[in-house]
Amino acid sequence: MDFIDLRQPDDWHLHLRDGAALAQTVAASASWAARAIVMPNLKPPVTTTALARSYRDRILAARPEGSNFEPLMTLYLTDNTAAEEIDRAVDSGFVHGVKLYPSGATTNSDHGVSDLAHCEAVLERMAERGLPLLIHGEVTDAEVDIFDRERVFVERTLGPLVERHPELRVVVEHITTHDAASFVRESPARVAATITPQHLLVNRNAMLVGGIRPHYYCLPILKRERDRQALVEAATSGDPSFFLGTDSAPHAVGAKESDCGCAGCFTALNALELYAEAFDAVGALDRLEAFASEFGPRFYGLPLNEGRVRLERATQTVAASMPFGELEVRPFRAGETLAFRRAGS
Ligand code: NCD
Ligand code: ZN
């Protein structure tokens, strides 16, 4: 097979950042995705429908000429989010989820939830109104090893949460472990997960063997080979609970290559090619379209895209760096060769 045609995909987990960087981040995603769930972890975070409206306007203004890229906005859940905010969000028509960051779990999560007990009324309203809860699934307790934080979250927090709210729709974002994949597979259809390209392609050796590679550092952190294999199995299984979410999370080169480097891989530009490589490696390219273009919209109750994209089996070299506002960002696998490329790119 020299090429594969797909219904146009969407990205169900994306960090676009803000300000001058939007010109580059929006163009990168709009080059292949029709829509994206836009994460709200700005500084300050997008906690209200009013803030989401103005962020959405800035994203729309940054679209390349002629682009119909549609940002699907999210709210950042805090200990103080009011149930009425959920009504405003749903009634807006442009807010499609609420993001739960356990306080301190990742980039700009200081305003996140300290204890879910503060959020029960909001979660009940979300369940009533059908607004999904998008979860960064890691505990933040200092005594829990960073490689165990997702597994412990699944046992301690996610399981009970899903039982306590039997109507709540949940997306476990960027799953990284065998444990999270099993949990989602065994849960009812209202519980889904996104999977990133990096967690399908590499394990923690890529980040730590032969030198420390900050551009492979993201959260949740890369895990073992056994976990990677479980994620590939989930993504290529045809189970509609698993769909594409890049978690593309650009940071300027200086913020990554530093004494205390930021978490996040910038995959937005070549994400589709990266996913194709992961699916092709297990002979499952025929399953890519459903994962990339069908299961996400079905979960979110949105129409499938009408457009098409074509991936060719032809090599391309990833740019060494890209502009990022006034700074630079290093794409994931910068300077390396990819096995696929988008036709026309
Ligand atoms: C994300 C970011 O930089 O905003 N970083 C990451 O490593 N994924 C935050 C997140 O999704 O955890
Ligand atoms: Zn993210």
Amino acid symbol at 197: P
State whether the beta carbon of 37 lies less than 6 angstroms from ligand 1.
Answer: no
Domain ranges for the chain, please list them.
Answer: 10-307
**pTM to 2 decimals?**
0.98
> What is the number of other CB atoms lying within 10 angstroms of the CB of residue 74?
24
Beta-sheet strands, E only, within the chain? 3-7, 11-14, 35-38, 70-76, 95-100, 133-135, 170-172, 191-195, 242-244, 308-312, 316-317, 322-324, 327-329, 337-338, 341-342
Identify the active-site residue in 2, 247, 259, 286. Answer: 247
State whether the beta carbon of 249 lies less than 6 angstroms from ligand 1.
Answer: yes
Confidence at residue 15, expressed as pLDDT on a 0 to 100 scale: 98
Confidence at residue 18, expressed as pLDDT on a 0 to 100 scale: 98
Residues belonging to the chain = 345
Taking only the tens place, the pLDDT of each residue in 65-111 is 999 999 999 999 999 999 999 999 999 999 999 999 999 887 778 78
What is the rounded CA–CA span in Å between residue 65 and residue 131? 32
Please, are residues 269 and 322 in contact by the beta-carbon 8 Å criterion? yes
Q: Which ligand 1 atom is nearest residue 105's CA?
A: 12
State whether the beta carbon of 15 lies less than 6 angstroms from ligand 1.
Answer: yes
Angle at 24 between CA 132 and CA 17, to 5 degrees: 40
Q: Which ligand 1 atom is nearest residue 218's CA?
A: 7
Closest ligand to Cα 255: 1
The SS3 call for residue 13 is strand
* Fold exhibited by the domain 10-307: TIM Barrel (3.20.20)
Out of 17, 43, 101, 106, give the residue to mutate to test ligand 1, the one with the largest number of ligand atoms within 8 Å of its CB: 106
Q: How many whole angstroms from 106 Cα to the centroid of ligand 1?
A: 6
Confidence at residue 47, expressed as pLDDT on a 0 to 100 scale: 97
Please, are residues 153 and 137 in contact by the beta-carbon 8 Å criterion? yes
Q: What is the 3-state secondary structure (H, E, C) of 93-155?
A: CCEEEEEECECCCCCCCCCCECCHHHHHHHHHHHHHHCCCEEECCCCCCCCCCHHHHHHHHHH
Q: How many whole angstroms from 13 Cα to the centroid of ligand 2?
A: 6
Confidence at residue 16, expressed as pLDDT on a 0 to 100 scale: 98
The SS3 call for residue 157 is helix
State whether the beta carbon of 136 lies less than 6 angstroms from ligand 1.
Answer: yes
Tell me the H-state helices in 187-269.
197-201, 205-208, 225-235, 253-256
Please, are residues 200 and 174 in contact by the beta-carbon 8 Å criterion? no
Please, are residues 140 and 175 in contact by the beta-carbon 8 Å criterion? no
Q: How many whole angstroms from 225 Cα to the centroid of ligand 2?
A: 22
Confidence at residue 154, expressed as pLDDT on a 0 to 100 scale: 98
Please, are residues 116 and 126 in contact by the beta-carbon 8 Å criterion? no
Q: How many whole angstroms from 99 Cα to the centroid of ligand 2?
A: 10
Confidence at residue 107, expressed as pLDDT on a 0 to 100 scale: 77
> What is the number of other CB atoms lying within 10 angstroms of the CB of residue 109?
21
Q: Give percent helix, percent strand, percent coil of the chain, each to the nearest 5.
A: 40, 20, 45
Ranges of residues in the chain whose predicted pLDDT is under 70? 1, 345
Phi, psi of 37 (to 5 degrees): -75, 115
What is the rounded CA–CA span in Å between residue 141 and residue 104? 9
According to DSSP, the β-strands at 70-76 and 95-100 are parallel
State whether the beta carbon of 190 lies less than 6 angstroms from ligand 1.
Answer: no
Give catalytic status of residue 247 as yes or no: yes
